[in-house]
Structure 1
C-alpha cells in the first residue's frame, strides 16, 4: 500500500514538472535534506516583506502628519533645519524598526516552533503535507539551478477546529525565481492534495503587503472573508504601521 502511494506521488510530481524559458522545476514532497534551505527561504521571504510594509507605513496620512509635525516643532524650538531633519529621520527609523519587528518577531517564533521540526508539524501530521519546488536544470538569468535547488515551498495542515477544513501555510518563492509560475504550481499541487484528503474548505492568512500572493489566491478561487489588525501584543507600535491580516477561503 505504501509503495502504491509513493508511486502515485512520484507520478504527480512528474506531472507537475514545469519549464519556463531556461528554468525547469518540479514539485515534490519535503525531504529532511531540505531542512536548512527551507528555513533559509522562510526567513528571506518573510523579512523581505518589511520594506514594502515600511513604504506603505510612511505613505499613510497619519504618519506623514507626524513627520511634518515633528519637523515643524523641532524647527520652532531650535531654529535649526538640520535638527528638524534629524528629528524626521528619527521618526523614519522608528517606523522602519516597527515594520522590521513585526516580521522579525513572527519569524523568530516560527523558527522556534513549527519550523524547528518540519517533519513533525507538517509531514507526519495526518491530512497534511509540505511541498517544495526544486530546479531541474540551469537558469541562464541567475546562473544557478544546476538541479536540486529548492526555490519555493508551500504546506498544507489539517485544521484543529474543523475536521473538514485545512489550512495553507509557508508560501515562499525565492525572489530570483519570481514570476516563473512556481507559486501557481505550488498552490495547484496543494489544492489537489486537499481534494484527495476530502477537505471541503481550505483556509489561509496573508498580509496586505503581499499583493502578488493575494492576486494569485483570488485567481485560484480564494475569497477574502475577514480582515484584522496584527498586534502581536505590541499595540502601540502595531497601530503605527497598521499591518492588516487577510483571512481567505477556498471552497471545494
Structure 2
C-alpha cells in the first residue's frame, strides 16, 4: 500500500487534476450504459422495435439489425452525456481552480499525493441550493485514481471536507452522485451521509433513465448559521 498525503491544491497540479477528473467520470460510462439497458423501459422499447421492424420487413434478421443499431445509438448517447458533463466542468470551476475554490469564501480544494503524483482530489464550496445557503457546504469533484482505490484516500478526502465545514460552523455537508457510482454511495453512507433526493440532471438524462442522488450529512456543533 503506497503512502499518501492530503494537501491543498497548487498551481502545478492543474493538468493532473483535470485529467484525473475527466478519467474518473468517463470510466463510469460503461456502467451507465449497462444500467440503461437493464431498465424495464429500455427492454420494452427494444422488444417493440424488433417486433415492428420484423413485421414491416418480414425478416427477423432485419429486426435484430434494428436492435443492434439502437444499442449502438444508446451507447453513443451515454458516452456523449458523460463527455458533455466533463467539458462543462473543465470550462467552468475546473478552468480556474484558485478563483473557484481558493480565493472564494468558505471554499477549498485538496489533492491526495502519492509517489510524487496527484492521485485524488476533492473540493468544497457553498451550496447553490437557496434553501441551504448559509447552512450547508457542498462536497464536489471527488475523484481517486483507479490504481489507488481501496487505500482509504476517498475517506480521508471526505474527512477533510467534513472537518472544514465543522470548523466554520456549518450545519451540514451536501453532495450529489450518480446512480452508477455505487462505491461512492457506500463511502458517503459510511461517513454519515443519507440520501435525501433523486433527480435527472437534464432531458437527455431523463431519456436515458439516468438519475442523480442527493446526499446530506448533518454535522454536530453549532446550530446557528455562520456569519456572511
When the two structures are superposed, what TM-score results if normalisation uses the length of structure 1? Answer: 0.81
Aligned residues: CA RMSD: 1.4
| In structure 1, distance between residues paired with 2:197 and 2:137 | 17
Contact kept, 8 Å, 1:223 with 1:249, in 2: the verdict is yes
Are residue 44 (structure 1) and residue 23 (structure 2) matched?
yes
| In structure 1, distance between residues paired with 2:124 and 2:143 | 13
The aligned residue for residue 130 of structure 1 is 109
Q: CA deviation at 1:167?
A: 0.7
The aligned residue for residue 181 of structure 1 is 152
The aligned residue for residue 9 of structure 2 is 30
The aligned residue for residue 68 of structure 1 is 47
When the two structures are superposed, what TM-score results if normalisation uses the length of structure 2? Answer: 0.89
The aligned residue for residue 159 of structure 1 is 127
Q: CA deviation at 1:238?
A: 2.9
**Structure 2 unmatched ranges of 5 or more:** 220-228
Q: How does 1:1-252 map to 2 (within 5 A)?
A: 21=1, 23-135=2-114, 147-159=115-127, 161=130, 162-231=133-202, 235=203, 237-252=204-219
Mean Cα deviation higher: 155-164 or 38-47: 155-164
Corresponding residue pairs, total: 216
Mean Cα deviation higher: 204-213 or 71-80: 71-80
Contact kept, 8 Å, 2:205 with 2:211, in 1: the verdict is no
Contact kept, 8 Å, 1:98 with 1:238, in 2: the verdict is no
| In structure 1, distance between residues paired with 2:39 and 2:218 | 35
| In structure 1, distance between residues paired with 2:23 and 2:168 | 31
